[in-house]
Structure 1
Amino acid sequence: MLIQMVRIEVQPDHVDEFLAAFRINYVGTREEPGNLRFDVLRDPEASNLFFVYEVFKSKEALEEHRNTPHYQECVRRIDPILTGSRTKQFFDPVMADFLAEA
């Protein structure tokens, strides 16, 4: 199992553009057989700061995800409007609903 939180900061005047582009990835990812959870969150104090909570069945499932057309299209569209690089932090599950689904 692979769990990661991705931090994405968007240029403030491009938030709507980001949301439209990221929806492509959101919809496609939730249909992938290797994806268990994919949540997009916004910082309530910084409307241009987003976090994506992702749970995949394996490292291989994450690699498959990165090769999908929806992921690649999303990255192509959002990279120019970010304030910097996306950052990732990985986690081990302790108590989580999706553990029963794995």
Structure 2
Amino acid sequence: MLVRIVKMSFEPSRIDEFIANFEINKNKIRAFTGCNLLELYRDKNNTNIFFTYSYWDSEKSLNAYRNSDLFKAVWAKTKPFFNAKPEAWSVDKIESLN
């Protein structure tokens, strides 16, 4: 399983637009072939910083999403809201304790 973590920092005045766009698209992203989980987090201290965590079957599945029309549309809408360059990591989940 591949876990994709994306850190995004937004202009404070654009946060509501980001959240609205996420609401519109979250189920489409989660339903994308190979996506097993999608979560959105907000930093408690820097409330303009958000993280997405998504779990993918493989890097191939993630890349299929990243090359899809859905991703291109979501990213085109989201990109103007940033106030810093987003950061992303692809990591392997080693262990999870519930």
How many equivalent pairs are there? 97
How far does residue 55 in structure 1 lie from its aligned partner after superposition?
1.0
How high is the TM-score relative to the length of structure 1?
Answer: 0.84
Specify whether residues 50 and 75 from structure 1 end up closer, same or farther in structure 2 by C-alpha distance, changes over 3 A only: same
How far does residue 84 in structure 1 lie from its aligned partner after superposition?
2.0
Q: State the alpha-carbon separation in 2 of the partners of residues 22 and 85 from structure 1.
A: 18
Say whether the 8 Å CA contact 1:32–1:65 is kept in structure 2: yes
How far does residue 68 in structure 1 lie from its aligned partner after superposition?
2.7
Over 4 Å off, 4+ runs: none
Q: State the alpha-carbon separation in 1 of the partners of residues 85 and 27 from structure 2.
A: 23
1:83 maps to amino acid: N
How high is the TM-score relative to the length of structure 2?
Answer: 0.87
RMSD: 1.6
How far does residue 89 in structure 1 lie from its aligned partner after superposition?
2.0
How far does residue 62 in structure 1 lie from its aligned partner after superposition?
0.5
1:41 maps to amino acid: Y
- What are the residue-to-residue correspondences of 1:58-97 with 2, within 5 Å? 58-96=58-96
The residue aligned with 2:54 is: 54
Q: State the alpha-carbon separation in 1 of the partners of residues 32 and 77 from structure 2.
A: 21
- What are the residue-to-residue correspondences of 1:5-20 with 2, within 5 Å? 5-20=5-20
Moved more, 81-90 or 5-14: 81-90
1:77 maps to amino acid: K
Q: Which runs of 5+ in 1 are unaligned?
A: 98-102
Q: Which runs of 5+ in 2 are unaligned?
A: none
Say whether the 8 Å CA contact 1:34–1:58 is kept in structure 2: yes
Say whether the 8 Å CA contact 1:25–1:71 is kept in structure 2: no
How far does residue 75 in structure 1 lie from its aligned partner after superposition?
0.7
